[in-house]
Amino acid sequence: MSTITNHMPTAELQAIDAAHHMHPFSTNEDLAKEGVRVITRAKGVYLTDSEGEEILDAMAGLWCVNIGYGRDELAEVAARQMRELPYYNTFFKTTHVPALALANKLAELAPGDLNHVFFAGGGSEANDTNIRMVRTYWAEKGKPEKNVIISRHNAYHGSTVGSASLGGMAGMHAQGGIPIPNIHHINQPNWWAEGGDMTPEEFGLARARELEEAILELGEDRVAAFIAEPVQGAGGVIVAPDTYWPEIQRICDKYEILLIADEVICGFGRTGNWFGSQTVGIRPHIMTIAKGLSSGYAPIGGSIVCDEVAGVIGNCEFNHGYTYSGHPVAAAVALENLRILEEEKVIDHVRNVAAPYLKEKWEALVDHPLVGEARIVGMMGSIALTPEKETRAKFASEPGTIGLITRERCFANNLVMRHVGDRMIISPPLIITRDEIDEMFVRIRKSLDEAHAEIL
Ligand code: PLP
């Protein structure tokens, strides 16, 4: 068998990829258009491709490489753990040190009485755990009919059948027979696109009260939980108006609804605190974690669960678990990642240096003719592209066309920025420096100018 390596010509690697590799969320036609970009290595905030181009990764991979690329410490921990104990499970009355030590650390970092961790391979699996856990919780409490989970349209909670059902992505619901029963969706707090004549504050309250309306409509005794991201990420970095979260918390408390905060993107420093729940001031019963937990160096996720829910689940046999729940190598890597986040004071860097500087430059983008609103929380930001700022107008073209053109300009300028419809989003590694932020904005502004010139 011939060995395929980084050193082969790009066209050959692309041809092998096209012949055999199926890509998530892609069509063959799109992949073939310019040929896929082959990423060969990465360091800090920069990727290198097979042509030797240096690309500034303003998305931290898929919102996950919080400590930046190329940290040898994680590679060393992984190698050590693989030699010592490459695998064992945590089923059937066994455990191992990486899993128990990581659970211990997460209990220390998580707010309130979120003291217990159920591990998974990533965020989707963790959200599947959450579906089964909250339903089992209420069944064990003698309320099996309390099994409806309320989520939001345009939410992303993963790609498995369960987690994609929790999500509210129309394109995903159009395929594969989802959502599963007893998942209900309310509207998102996206004031720019959907706020009409309301002020952001009025709109935030109105959208939060849709939760109360849904509970009353479905019946209080039927609703098990509400799930949401503190800041909606893949939906387009939708930052809720200030009135939204206090009202959601009030409603969950009033009707005894479990609150699940999906912290897969927001967790581990992205919003300027360890968890996005702290940033928006909510008290979840369960937090979904993944991505920044290991900075993407190893696949691992989980649910951090409060004392009450974990107590009830622990008293029944919860018939649920994954072969790789708490995988020792992934857990050891995650622990090392948390050590780096903590000892190198990465979240202080976000709060005191990177996020304030990024915010100043990000919000100034509204001076660009294509940019309507610019929203940012910590290290996740979005801009809405618009043909007319005053009326928050949409483009006449198919939604997403201008976003795609802009993303392609970014790509050509060696900048990874993503588009969601006609919103452009960033989520760079948390360790990004001021100089790197300056460089990022040179590329962002150039890309916006070029996109603007292209559509004029
Ligand atoms: N939840 C949120 C908020 C996410 O953004 C994602 C992935 O982007 C997931 C869940 C799914 O995580 P994974 O891709 O690790 O399964």
Per-residue pLDDT of the chain (456 residues; tens, 9 = 90+): 679 999 999 999 999 999 999 999 999 998 988 789 999 999 999 999 999 999 999 999 999 999 999 999 999 999 999 999 999 999 999 999 999 999 999 999 999 999 999 999 999 999 999 999 999 999 999 999 999 999 999 999 999 999 999 999 999 999 999 999 999 999 999 999 999 999 999 999 999 999 999 999 999 999 999 999 999 999 999 999 999 999 999 999 999 999 999 999 999 999 999 999 999 999 999 999 999 999 999 999 999 999 999 999 999 999 999 999 999 999 999 999 999 999 999 999 999 999 999 999 999 999 999 999 999 999 999 999 999 999 999 999 999 999 999 999 999 999 999 999 999 999 999 999 999 999 999 999 999 999 999 998
Q: Determine the 3-state secondary structure of 129 from DSSP.
A: helix
Give the residue, by CA position, lying nearest to ligand 1 atom 7: 158
Nearest to 296 by CA among 273, 343, 344, 330: 330
Give the residue, by CA position, lying nearest to ligand 1 atom 13: 123
Pairing outcome for strands 301-306 and 371-377: unpaired
- Closest atom, ligand 1, to C-alpha of 122: 15
Nearest to 106 by CA among 309, 280, 266, 293: 293
Query: Which amino acid, residue 228?
Result: A
Question: How many Å lie between the centroid of ligand 1 and the Cα of residue 62?
Answer: 9
- Closest atom, ligand 1, to C-alpha of 127: 10
d(CA 7, CA 226): 49
Neighbours of 272 (CB within 10 A): 22
Q: Which residues line ligand 1 (CB under 6 A)?
A: 62, 122-124, 127, 156-158, 229, 233-234, 262, 264-265, 290, 301
- Closest atom, ligand 1, to C-alpha of 229: 3
Neighbours of 362 (CB within 10 A): 21
Which secondary structure element, helix H or strand E, spans residue 373, and what is its range? strand 371-377
Nearest to 301 by CA among 452, 136, 159: 159
pTM, two decimal places? 0.98
Question: How many Å lie between the centroid of ligand 1 and the Cα of residue 449?
Answer: 32
Give the residue, by CA position, lying nearest to ligand 1 atom 1: 157
At 456 the pLDDT is 82
Nearest to 254 by CA among 226, 231, 288, 279: 226
- Closest atom, ligand 1, to C-alpha of 124: 16
- Closest atom, ligand 1, to C-alpha of 160: 16
d(CA 430, CA 47): 15
The beta strand positions in 197-278, using DSSP E, are 223-228, 258-262
Compute φ and ψ for 60, nearest 5 degrees: 45, 55
Probe target for ligand 1 pocket from 291, 327, 425, with the most ligand atoms within 8 Å of CB: 291
DSSP structure class, residue 354: I
At 288 the pLDDT is 99
Which secondary structure element, helix H or strand E, spans residue 451, and what is its range? helix 434-455
Secondary structure (DSSP) of 388-421: -TTTTPPPSSSTTHHHHHHHHHHHHTTEE-EEET
Rg (CA), the chain: 22
Q: Which residues contact 342 (CB under 8 A, 6 or more apart)?
A: none
Question: How many Å lie between the centroid of ligand 1 and the Cα of residue 160?
Answer: 10
Q: Determine the 3-state secondary structure of 223 from DSSP.
A: strand
Question: How many Å lie between the centroid of ligand 1 and the Cα of residue 404?
Answer: 22
At 2 the pLDDT is 77
Probe target for ligand 1 pocket from 125, 232, 264, with the most ligand atoms within 8 Å of CB: 264
Query: Given its phi and psi angles, is residue 414 left (phi above 0), alpha (psi -120 to 50 degrees) or beta?
Result: left
Using N-to-C axis directions, what is the helix angle for 328-343 and 97-109, rounded to 10°?
40
Neighbours of 451 (CB within 10 A): 23
Q: Do the beta carbons of residue 202 and residue 247 sit within 8 Å?
A: no
Question: How many Å lie between the centroid of ligand 1 and the Cα of residue 407?
Answer: 21
Nearest to 290 by CA among 124, 161, 431: 124
Nearest to 341 by CA among 447, 229, 440, 431: 431
Burial class (CB in 10 A: 0-12, 13-18, 19+), 321: middle
Compute φ and ψ for 7, nearest 5 degrees: -85, -5
**In the chain, helix, strand, coil percent, each to 5?**
45, 15, 40
At 1 the pLDDT is 62
At 35 the pLDDT is 85
At 243 the pLDDT is 98
At 34 the pLDDT is 77
> What ipTM was assigned to the predicted interfaces of this complex?
0.99
Question: How many Å lie between the centroid of ligand 1 and the Cα of residue 421?
Answer: 19
**The two structure tokens encoding residue 429:** 């590694």
Probe target for ligand 1 pocket from 130, 152, 156, with the most ligand atoms within 8 Å of CB: 156
Nearest to 275 by CA among 107, 70, 60: 107
Give the residue, by CA position, lying nearest to ligand 1 atom 2: 157
Q: Please, which residues bridge with residue 381 across strands? A: 376, 426
Give the residue, by CA position, lying nearest to ligand 1 atom 12: 123
**The two structure tokens encoding residue 439:** 């460089």
Question: How many Å lie between the centroid of ligand 1 and the Cα of residue 122?
Answer: 7
At 268 the pLDDT is 98
Compute φ and ψ for 119, nearest 5 degrees: -85, 155
Question: How many Å lie between the centroid of ligand 1 and the Cα of residue 438?
Answer: 29
Question: How many Å lie between the centroid of ligand 1 and the Cα of residue 181?
Answer: 21
Compute φ and ψ for 116, nearest 5 degrees: -135, 140
Q: Do the beta carbons of residue 361 and residue 376 sit within 8 Å?
A: no
